[in-house]
Structure 1
Amino acid sequence: MKALILSGGKGTRLRPLTYTGAKQLVPVANKPILWYGLEAIAAAGIEEIGIIISPETGPEIQAKTGNGERFGVKITYILQEQPLGLAHAVKVAQPFLGDSPFVMYLGDNLIQDSLGQFLQHFQQKSLDALILLRQVSNPSAFGVATVDEQGHVLALVEKPQAPPSNLALVGLYFFAASIHAAIAAIQPSARGELEITDAIQTLLNQGKTVEALELQGWWLDTGKKDDLLEANRIILDSLLRQDKQGQIDETSKIIGRVAIAPSAQIINSTLRGPVIIGENCRIENSFIGPYSSIADEAIIQDADLEHSVILPGAQILGVQQRIVDSVIGQRARLSLAPGQPRALRFLVGDDSQIELV
């Protein structure tokens, strides 16, 4: 059994952050989104993982993630020159996959359920494909499945204008080697991509065994700012453990579940959890409210924020008005003159400088 993680694409929904970096490396609770998928796959006992990368962000992903040693797996990086669809990514990865069955995981998705239970179902029933589904309120934005009472997939359609059901395909699939012939038989869709839904539909047309299971836990697609913030909130709520190791002066208050890296400095500030503070951060004369993740090397001085994600090296200086629902890019610098409104919302790309006067 092998795994294929899709970590290419251009991340247009998360711009401006993704003009300068990979969307799969944007941190949730101070961990790159991509790494959650790697950990889930490793926990299922799969050791050979291929990661699809793009020319623009591939080198950054390789440098950050490495050869897989930290996850106990072996990683092979596979270049996809153009983002021509999920099925195209599988086609590009065929030399790596060979005749092995594999799990395909979209690198910007977060899934609470254990992969092991789905893998066991796939293997025990010798399926050609197993898809994971979730009921959604806007099925026209997804691939949509029609399923009978036994879990057999009857039909699939990609982003339909009139959805036949509210069951959306989650970014997690299990395939036998028969998927390669199905992909070879399809043509690009109207948007110029090889759709994985078309390939699975081809399996159905050929009489292959395709089943579906519905997720029980949360599923998070982090492609947009608000989705990223929601993912950060859920991860902090469900996974954060209190760990106050930093340098905390006697005038500071730490309330609730807060994790502070050993090299972080907390000076005359209040942190109300759930909050995570990364290495070499300096928090001074500030309030950090619930559901905030402050990544390594960030400096926050004379500021007030909550429900926000601050990327590595960012600086927020003198912003005493409340910052909420914001994502601040790497090395971005925000400073504020007196007399501004009471609440501010930001999506700030890497290396930006913003001064509100």
Structure 2
Amino acid sequence: MKGLLLSGGTGTRLRPLTYSGPKQLLPVANKPILIYAIENLRQAGITDLGIVVGENARHVKEHVKNGHELGVQITYIPQQSPLGLAHAVKTASSFLQDQPFVMILGDTLLDQGIRSFVEHFRSANPVAAVLVSRVKDPEHYGVVQVENKRIVQLVEKPTSFISDLALTGIYAFSPRIHDAIASIVPSARGELEITDALQWLVAHGEEVIFQIHPGWWKDTGRPDDLLEANRLLLHDQTPCLSGYTDPFSLVIGNVRIERGAQIAHSILIGPVAIGRDATIEDAVIGPYTTIGHEAVLRRVELTNSILLDRCHIEGPIRLSRSLIGRETVIHKTKSTSEPAWIHLILGDTSHCEL
């Protein structure tokens, strides 16, 4: 069985963070989203992986390389234009050949992994399987209608209630999916939709099954989704105090401080993750906050935020629900006795004076 990861999208809803790289490489809890997907496949026993890449292929290759450090073998599959999930499968057909495979959208995050889903697919031996999750707002998702433990209909963003079982972006297919993709036509938006291919299988009497994911799942396509995924992952992280914390600092709760980090005259309120070689002075950090590698923060109050590598922030500044890109510099130039809480989303190498 092979694995197929899709990393060719442009991530327009996450701009300006995605102007300089693909959304799948944005870190959550100090790890790129795509790496979580690779680890999930490896833990399910799938190590022969293909990654469909687009215009940002160089960035993905720099991070993942040949995959050996992650315990997998990577084949890169160029997709000239993002013309739909089914088109990505079609583009990868020479890699997939006649083997079954698991496909994961590169911006999908979930807890508990996919081992149970993969084992269910292998034992049941259907033509296709989808991992679904119950949602409160199914009108925002592709959903499945089921009868007798089988899928009978797939609907994209239904206008009336059909089901609360949303597609999570994790699929398992037999080689029969290639016949389905060859038989469908582009949708109204000009893309080959994987839901149309699945519906074709259902219409032709093929067995398409589902499994309900018991834990949490996030499509990290928007800033609020990234922050929520960060909160969930930090909540489950393993505490580790590998950096230096001076005697005048206070660490409360689930906190992870990586090697080389320096904490002085600060309060860390977990869950918090501090990256390698970061410097934090006279600050209050947390909860639900990730600070990237080699970041520098002085006189900052920070909560429910993600700061990427090599940020430099000089306060006094209060930030909440913020996403700050790599190598961004933020300076406080106007003196105020009680700075207000602010919310910022800044792309890489930004410069901001407040």
CA displacement at 1:298 relative to structure 2 = 0.6
1:214 corresponds, among 209, 212, 215, to 212
Q: Which residue of 1 aligns with 2:293?
A: 296
CA displacement at 1:137 relative to structure 2 = 2.4
CA displacement at 1:165 relative to structure 2 = 1.8
Q: Which residue of 2 aligns with 1:160?
A: 158
Using structure 1 for the length normalisation, give the TM-score: 0.96
Q: Which residue of 1 aligns with 2:38?
A: 38
Q: Which residue of 2 aligns with 1:109?
A: 108
1:198-277 alignment runs, 5 A limit: 198-238=196-236, 240-277=237-274
Distance 1:175 1:163 in 2: 27
2:350 corresponds, among 338, 349, 352, to 352
- What SS does the aligned partner of 1:303 have? strand
Partners of 2:132 and 2:167 within 8 A in 1: yes
Single out whichever of 1-10 and 254-263 deviates more from structure 2. Answer: 254-263
CA displacement at 1:144 relative to structure 2 = 1.5
CA displacement at 1:258 relative to structure 2 = 1.2
Q: Which residue of 1 aligns with 2:26?
A: 26
Q: Which residue of 2 aligns with 1:54?
A: 54
Q: Which residue of 2 aligns with 1:189?
A: 187
Distance 1:241 1:61 in 2: 27
Q: Which residue of 2 aligns with 1:10?
A: 10
Task: Return 5+ residue gaps in structure 2 as ranges.
Answer: none
Partners of 2:235 and 2:254 within 8 A in 1: no
Single out whichever of 124-133 and 171-180 deviates more from structure 2. Answer: 124-133
Using structure 2 for the length normalisation, give the TM-score: 0.97
Partners of 1:322 and 1:343 within 8 A in 2: yes
Task: Return 5+ residue gaps in structure 1 as ranges.
Answer: none
CA displacement at 1:133 relative to structure 2 = 1.4
Q: Which amino acid aligns with 1:263?
A: G
Q: Which amino acid aligns with 2:311?
A: A
Q: Which residue of 2 aligns with 1:125?
A: 124
| Deviations 1:95-151 (CA, angstroms, capped at 9, x unpaired) | 000000000001101121331211121111211000111222222222121101x31
CA displacement at 1:163 relative to structure 2 = 4.4
Q: Which residue of 1 aligns with 2:92?
A: 93
In the alignment of these two chains, the number of paired residues is 352
Partners of 1:144 and 1:163 within 8 A in 2: no
| Deviations 1:208-253 (CA, angstroms, capped at 9, x unpaired) | 1111111110001111111100000000001x12211112222111
1:284 corresponds, among 281, 284, 297, to 281
Single out whichever of 160-169 and 27-36 deviates more from structure 2. Answer: 160-169
Please list every run of at least 4 consecutive aligned residues from structure 1 whose deviation after the TM superposition is greater than 6 angstroms: none
- What SS does the aligned partner of 1:5 have? strand
For the aligned residue pairs, the C-alpha RMSD in angstroms reads: 1.2
Q: Percent identity?
A: 47
Single out whichever of 119-128 and 333-342 deviates more from structure 2. Answer: 333-342
Q: Which residue of 2 aligns with 1:64?
A: 63
Q: 1:217 to 1:303 in 2, by over 3 A?
A: same
Q: Which amino acid aligns with 1:59?
A: R
CA displacement at 1:341 relative to structure 2 = 4.6
